Structure 1
Amino acid sequence: MNTKELTKRIDTLDYLRGFALLGIILVNIIPLLSVKLPVPETTDASYLRFLYLFVEGRFYTIFTFLFGVGFYIFISRANGKGKNGYVLFLRRILVLFFFGLVHVQFHPGEALTVYAICGLIILPFYKANKLVNLVFGTAMLVVLGFFAEKIFMVVPLMLLGIAAGQYQVFEQILNWKKTAIFTCLIFVTSVAGLIYQYQHAPFVFGNGSDGNFLETQRFLHIGITIGPIVSAFYVGLLILLLNFPIVRQVLTPLKSYGRMALTNYVSQTILILGLGQVLNLVDHLSYIQSLVLCMAIYTIQLTFSTIWLRYFRFGPLEWVWRMLTYFEWMPIRKEAD
């Protein structure tokens, strides 16, 4: 693999991580600020339906898959440098677990502790045959997807990420013809799944009649089950667009956002809770207002990430994570040209 290919592959993953973070905050802000259920047949109700059709269960899927890809790349590179990739990875997820222990105090249901624990589970699969990881991961995802519980889908998504690393998918993914064919095929399946889910979309969410509540739950469960299919379409479409230089240039802030994924994931919580307290938004925010707040946070984080990476090599938390993983001091400032 030459230097140019390696750079492209890393850039693609960063764009995807940044893209996943854009969607994750839209869902996370709802429980963090106790956003009120909307009145039926309002703009808020339409936005809530949009969230559960196109966002809920879509972006965490991408983020989890990318963890599996990163897992494979991290160990492979460490081993390639003559280091013990397994030991380094164990340190890496231990640090991640402690980050998660702090984060979960403010954000119940956060992902870092789950990822760290699941990282231990998938460790033996690093040396497994790539076809085994692909088939086993897919089968697990299909079977566990019917339970419509996000936590059950973490391990199979990570296994598919490992398989993607083993098949060197991201070394070839910028081939626009292959990406276009994949995206078109998955688009048809995604549309069929979304149409089926929409047929079960209730007019009232949450505290209506018992029948309506059950219909709401069915709607949400279907969304989680078909989530990986829609997520695959999102990934294929973004990668297809990244084949155009002008798109890559316009979305450069998104790449910076993804390079600092850990910092931005945690700081999303800090900004949501901080602004919620300062502006007295807890239990006083509508769904559309939550979207406006997310857009303000996007502006803050995208700007900060872009400026920070002009002068520093890593994001703040990424820097700490890296040093605790390798047990060595690493300069964070970029050298002057």
Structure 2
Amino acid sequence: MGLNKRIDVLDYLRGFALLGIILVNIGPLLSVEEPSQNSMDASYWRFLYLFVEGRFYTIFTFLFGVGFYIFITRANAKGMNGYVLFLRRIAVLFLFGLIHVRFHPGEALTVYAVCGLILLPFYKINKAVNLIIGFGLLVIIGISAIKILMVVPVMLLGISAGQFGLFEVVTKRVNQIAVFTMIMFGLSAIGLLYQYQYAPVFSEGWSGPSGREAARFIDIGITIGPIVSAFYAGLLVLLLQIQIIQKLLSPLKSYGRMALTNYLLQTVFIYLAGYTFNLFGRVSYIETLYICLAIYVIQMTVSVIWLRFFRYGPLEWIWRALTYLKVPSMR
């Protein structure tokens, strides 16, 4: 494999992760109204916390770990200092995050940059050791249901996956991936059925997603999140082995190739919709889904067209220029 060759499956997975991330992020940004009892809103809220919250963010985090390993390895193979370049890369990412966090509290980029710095020494540690440490920490932190701390083990597992070359030869590992996905499906089904038993009843005086009534439901969701994420990722990788599905989902690849640009522009589009239509505090959960669908169409269409003419997304181009301290060719 060439040193600059993109691994398409990673772009598909990044695009897929972005689809779910916006569904969760849009609620707090638009100050969504609380669901009323026995409404579509209540059903959609449960859907979000069963199948979306913590599932797609985990995939995005894992992929950052994979990219972490690939970036340094390829830079070193080209005779450059991969560590220095990576430090510069996450410093730029942190700056992007500092700007973004002013508009989107709880955004991911600053967290990724800090965790990337913390995990840099693990690049040289044996892949099996990284796998064991990452899995062990994930279990411990997962049981504790501390979402922010789960970034470290998930990212470390991504580094380990990069060390094992998991995504370079996907077509040769279809059987193993199928077995893994089936196991994750079984565990996910058990976990989700258990979580559903604690789904809150929306009644007058309900105190919102952070309220006591929903705490157990949400904590269980955090604990089982990586399992459901693994099932989603495994299923998508298997589906991509079918040529017609790969072609149908090709806009997802373009969406993922411009992941940084599209992630930040999601926030821009949400606020643009909020201010244009005066939606803050006046929009329901189910209505946010319609806004997200519109944003999907706009972003995917622009991503596909943009990448027909340009090599990088606009923010990816800036990120690369500041990382290598030279202007890369855009066309």
TM-score, scaled to structure 1: 0.95
1:33-65 Cα offsets, whole Å, 9 max, x none, are 001111011111100000000000100000000
Shift, 1:206, TM fit: 9.8
Once the two structures are TM-superposed, the CA of residue 263 in structure 1 deviates from its matched residue by 0.1
Which residue identity lines up with residue 240 of structure 1 in the other structure?
A: L
C-alpha contact (below 8 Å) 1:256/1:306 kept by paired residues: yes
CA contact 2:258–2:313 (8 Å) conserved in 1: yes
Counterpart of 1:171 in structure 2 is 168
Describe how 1:106-145 pairs up with structure 2 within 5 A.
Answer: 106-145=103-142
Kindly indicate whether residue 11 of structure 2 is the aligned counterpart of residue 23 of structure 1: no
Q: Distance in 1 between matches of 2:266 and 2:26?
A: 9
Q: Given that residues 182 and 236 in structure 1 are in contact (C-alpha distance below 8 angstroms), is that contact kept between their aligned partners in structure 2?
A: yes
**Post-superposition shift, 1:171?**
1.8
Which of 290, 309, 321 lines up with 1:323 in the alignment? 321
1:189 equivalent among 187, 202, 207: 187
Match of 2:41 among 37, 44, 54: 44
CA distance in 1, matches of 2:204, 2:264: 29
Residues 14-48 of structure 1: CA distance to partner in whole angstroms, max 9, x if unpaired? 00000000000000000000011110111111000
Compared CA separation, residues 205 and 250, structure 1 to 2 (3 A): farther
Q: What is the correspondence of 1:168-317 to structure 2 with a 5 Å cutoff?
A: 168-174=165-171, 175-204=173-202, 207-208=205-206, 213-317=211-315
* Contact in 1 for aligned 2:123/2:159 (Cα 8 Å): yes
Q: 1:176: how far off? A: 2.4
**Is the Cα–Cα contact under 8 Å of residues 205 and 213 in structure 1 kept in the other structure?**
no
Q: Distance in 2 between matches of 1:148 and 1:206?
A: 28
Task: Tell me the equivalent position of 1:56.
Answer: 53
Q: Is the 8 A contact 2:255 2:299 kept in 1?
A: yes
- Divergent runs of 4+, >4 A: none
Where in structure 1 are there 5+ consecutive unaligned residues?
Answer: none
Match of 2:34, SS state, is: coil
Distance 1:233 1:76 in 2: 28
Query: Which stretch shifts more, 121-130 or 139-148?
Result: 139-148
- Aligned with 1:82 (options 72, 79, 83): 79
Aligned-partner Cα distance in 2 for 1:268–1:83: 34
What's 2:68 paired with?
A: 71
Residue 66 of structure 2 aligns to a residue in which SS? helix
Pair 1:206–1:240, CA change in 2 (3 A):
farther
Q: What's the CA shift string for 1:220-245, capped at 9, x where partnerless?
A: 01001100000000000000000001
In 1, Cα distance between the equivalents of 2:317 and 2:203? 42
Question: Does the CA-based 8 Å contact 2:7-2:168 persist in structure 1?
Answer: no
Residues 327, 299 of structure 1: alpha-carbon distance in 2 compared, 3 angstrom cutoff: same
* Residues 58 and 226 in structure 2, CA contact (< 8 A), matched pair in contact too: yes
After TM superposition, give the deviation of residue 173 of structure 1 in Å. Answer: 2.4
Residue deviations 1:169-205 (CA, integer Å, cap 9, x gap): 1123233222211111111001000001001111128
1:105–1:205: structure 2 CA closer, same or farther, 3 Å change rule?
Answer: farther
Partner of 2:97: 100
Q: Distance in 1 between matches of 2:181 and 2:65?
A: 21
Q: 1:205 to 1:90 in 2, by over 3 A?
A: farther
CA shift digits 1:238-271 (9 cap, x unpaired) = 0000000111100010000000000000000000
Per-residue CA deviation, residues 140-171 of structure 1 (Å, 9 max, x unaligned), is: 00001122122110010010000001111112
Q: 1:67 to 1:236 in 2, by over 3 A?
A: same
Contact 1:207 1:213 in 2 (8 A): no
Q: Deviations over 1:290-326 (max 9, x none)?
A: 0000000000000000000000000000000000000
Contact kept, 8 Å, 1:20 with 1:62, in 2: the verdict is: yes
1: distance between equivalents of 2:185 and 2:100? 36
Equivalent residues, number? 329
CA shift in 2, pair 1:221/1:312, >3 Å: same
Change (3 A) 1:157 1:255: same
5+ residue gaps, structure 2: none
Structure 2: distance between partners of 1:308 and 1:98: 25
